[in-house]
């Protein structure tokens, strides 16, 4: 994942900026999108090693819809979903997959760091 980007997707600019800043400070290459459509375009245009995406976003589709499109092209792409929904409701929307994790909002950066390490093997303090 050293040369690959982490794609962070959220329609809330504050969360998008906060997560991106923490990742960049830890040494990750980061690109961002604010909806599911941009998520798919970014992922197809860049070498993406990890996606961290909100579930519910306005516009065409949601984070789970984008996940399905991304997985059609990259079956092993690791994805971390984040959401302010009730955790049980959020987890019910996410397809079961060993390359997927869920981190509730507000984001606990230790939990996010652990999910990144679990999926990619990279462990950088956030």
| CA-wise closest residue to 43 among 58, 29, 32, 28 | 32
Per-residue confidence band for 4, with pLDDT thresholds at 50, 70 and 90 = confident
Averaged pLDDT, 66-94: 93
Q: What is the mean pLDDT of the chain?
A: 93
Per-residue confidence band for 2, with pLDDT thresholds at 50, 70 and 90 = low
DSSP string, the chain: --SSEEEEE-S-HHHHHHHHHHHHHTT-EEEEESSHHHHHHHHHHS-EEEEEEES--SSSS-HHHHHHHHHHH-TT--EEEEESS-HHHHHHHSPP-TTEEEEESSP-HHHHHHHHHHHHS-----
Q: Output phi, psi for 9, to 5 deg.
A: -130, 120
Whether the pTM exceeds 0.85: the reply is yes
Domains and CATH numbers, the chain: 5-120 (3.40.50.2300)
Check pLDDT > 80 for residue 93: yes
Averaged pLDDT, 90-101: 94
């Amino acid at each position: 994942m050293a040369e690959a980007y982490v794609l962070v997707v959220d329609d809330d600019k504050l969360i998008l900026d906060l997560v991106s800043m923490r990742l960049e400070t830890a040494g990750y290459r980061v690109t961002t999108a604010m909806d599911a459509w941009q998520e798919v375009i970014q992922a197809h245009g860049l070498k993406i090693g990890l996606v961290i995406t909100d579930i519910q976003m306005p516009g065409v589709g949601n984070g789970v819809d984008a996940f399905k499109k991304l997985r059609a092209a990259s079956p092993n792409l690791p994805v971390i979903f984040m959401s302010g929904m009730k955790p049980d409701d959020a987890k019910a929307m996410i397809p079961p997959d060993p390359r997927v994790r869920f981190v509730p909002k507000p984001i606990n950066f230790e939990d996010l760091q652990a999910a990144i390490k679990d999926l990619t093997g990279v462990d950088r303090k956030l």
